[in-house]
């Protein structure tokens, strides 16, 4: 699928200057920070409101497009913040309407963002790190190893860039389910999350922003205090030995510790928790696995998203048969546990759950974009 003429009008020009190691990124500035900087520079309050509207309401961080902002203020903002965005290297378009973006950060390393279009909503799946430290055995990202954390600016930039691919709709949901473990990059993820849900910033409903963690128990407790966004847990097994074989992080945060953190989270927030459970044939789908999952969920208000394993090269796992998936689901629902089956989107562009591996040109069919774009 090629880019439309309307899309080309959106991608005009973006400064190729790399993100400064000194200046903070504009997209990690809170509305209060922006107002304070502008007022202290001697500009009237309404100028601060104009800049905030451009960034948060119009979802742009191009000074050139801020037509009602005076040149003197633009110069001040240019000197105060870095406005450079990650470069869009490729857009991969799935037959189901999903778009996967390959982005290049200021250091040349690449990461991915996925846009999922539904009839009544538009969800973006954002990355929080380049690579991942956790080495989950079923996940392509874990095979990459870890390179670095993304800044809050780079996280929010994924939202801004994705919006330019949606000329006729706005992003309604954000999920932190891309590359990396969000709670190992806690401060940047928290800042980005709170910008997404702040009424003075992007104004998304807190129930439409979800952070998924593999079970960093101490950060789950922090998150109950620090954010009203929703929480999802990548569980994938409720028996210690099975979960440890799939997710080595279970050695540091075993199931009992994770359960206690979730009980604390639920007591503080009174929010339902989403449990993500990838179904892998012959690994975590026995009756013993199902019973252990039911036992783990006792005392929690939760739903379980059952995710059929998405096959990818180099991993010795198989996708379960449909009859096996439905049998596992039936066991849970018969015990009053909501357990919808979530079939991943964007599989033909490796955009499904566990498939994000920052593929470069030649590894997948790609639609090349201009290297420098404006948002």
Task: Show the domains of the chain with their CATH numbers.
Answer: 5-80 (1.10.150.530), 87-368 (3.20.20.70)
Quote the pLDDT of residue 19. Answer: 40
Q: Is the pLDDT of residue 215 over 50?
A: yes
According to DSSP H, which parts of 41-103 are helical?
A: 45-52, 71-80
Quote the pLDDT of residue 366. Answer: 36
Pairwise CA distance, residues 69 & 46, whole Å = 10
Q: Has 257 been annotated as catalytic?
A: no
Q: Which pLDDT tens digit goes with each residue over 232-254?
A: 999 999 999 999 999 999 999 99
In degrees and rounded to multiples of 5, residue 215 shows phi and psi of 120, 40
Percent of the chain with pLDDT over 90: 78
In degrees and rounded to multiples of 5, residue 210 shows phi and psi of -125, 130
Q: Has 112 been annotated as catalytic?
A: yes
Least confident range from 20-24, 257-261, 304-308: namely: 20-24
Which is the catalytic residue, given 61, 125, 139, 353? 353
- Residue 102 CB-half CA count within 13 A: 26
Per-chain mean pLDDT for the chain: 87
Strand extents, DSSP E, 249-365 = 273-279, 302-308
Q: Is the pLDDT of residue 12 over 80?
A: no
Q: Which pLDDT tens digit goes with each residue over 75-127?
A: 999 999 999 999 999 999 988 889 999 999 989 999 999 999 999 999 999 99
Which is the catalytic residue, given 112, 129, 154, 276? 112
Pairwise CA distance, residues 182 & 333, whole Å = 30
According to DSSP H, which parts of 81-175 are helical?
A: 140-144, 152-163
Name the pLDDT band for 348 (thresholds 50, 70, 90).
Answer: low
Instruction: Give pTM, 2 decimals.
Output: 0.86
Quote the pLDDT of residue 374. Answer: 39
Quote the pLDDT of residue 313. Answer: 66
Pairwise CA distance, residues 229 & 16, whole Å = 34
Structure tokens, 209: 């922003």
Quote the pLDDT of residue 375. Answer: 47
Pairwise CA distance, residues 208 & 295, whole Å = 28
Cα torsion through 114, 117, 122, 125, rounded to 10: -20
* Crossing angle of helices 31-40 and 71-80, rounded to 10°: 120
Q: Is the pLDDT of residue 363 over 50?
A: no
């Amino acid at each position: 699928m090629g880019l439309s003429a309307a899309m080309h009008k959106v991608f005009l020009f973006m400064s190729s200057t790399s993100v400064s190691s000194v200046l903070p990124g504009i997209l990690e500035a809170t509305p209060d920070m922006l107002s304070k900087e502008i007022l202290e520079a001697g500009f009237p309050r309404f100028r601060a409101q104009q800049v905030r509207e451009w960034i948060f309401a119009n979802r742009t961080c191009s000074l050139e497009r801020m037509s009602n902002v005076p040149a003197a203020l633009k110069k001040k903002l240019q000197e105060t913040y870095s406005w450079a965005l990650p470069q869009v290297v490729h857009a991969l378009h799935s037959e189901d309407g999903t778009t996967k973006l390959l982005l290049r950060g200021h250091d040349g390393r690449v990461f991915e963002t996925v846009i999922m279009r539904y009839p009544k909503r538009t969800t973006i799946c954002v990355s929080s790190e380049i690579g991942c430290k956790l080495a989950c055995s079923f996940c392509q990202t874990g095979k990459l190893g870890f390179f670095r954390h993304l800044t809050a600016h780079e996280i929010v930039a994924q939202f801004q860039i994705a919006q330019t691919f949606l000329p006729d709709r706005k992003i309604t949901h954000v999920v932190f389910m891309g590359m990396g473990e969000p709670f190992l990059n806690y401060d940047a993820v928290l800042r980005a999350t709170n910008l997404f849900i702040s009424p003075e910033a992007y104004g998304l409903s807190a129930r439409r922003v979800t952070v998924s963690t593999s079970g960093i128990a101490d950060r789950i407790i922090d998150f109950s205090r620090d954010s009203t966004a929703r929480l999802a847990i990548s569980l994938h097994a409720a028996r210690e030995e099975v979960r440890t074989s799939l997710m080595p992080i279970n050695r540091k945060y075993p199931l009992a510790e994770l359960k206690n953190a979730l009980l604390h989270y639920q007591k503080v927030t009174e929010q339902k928790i989403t449990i993500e459970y990838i179904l892998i044939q012959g690994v975590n789908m026995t009756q013993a696995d199902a019973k252990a999952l039911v036992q783990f969920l006792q005392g929690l208000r939760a739903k379980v998203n059952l995710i059929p394993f998405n096959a990818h090269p180099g991993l010795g796992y198989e996708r379960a048969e449909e009859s096996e998936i439905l049998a596992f689901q039936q066991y849970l629902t018969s015990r009053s546990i909501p357990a919808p089956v979530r079939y991943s989107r964007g599989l033909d562009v490796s955009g499904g759950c566990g498939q994000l591996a920052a593929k470069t040109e030649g590894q997948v069919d790609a639609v090349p974009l201009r290297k420098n774009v404006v948002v």
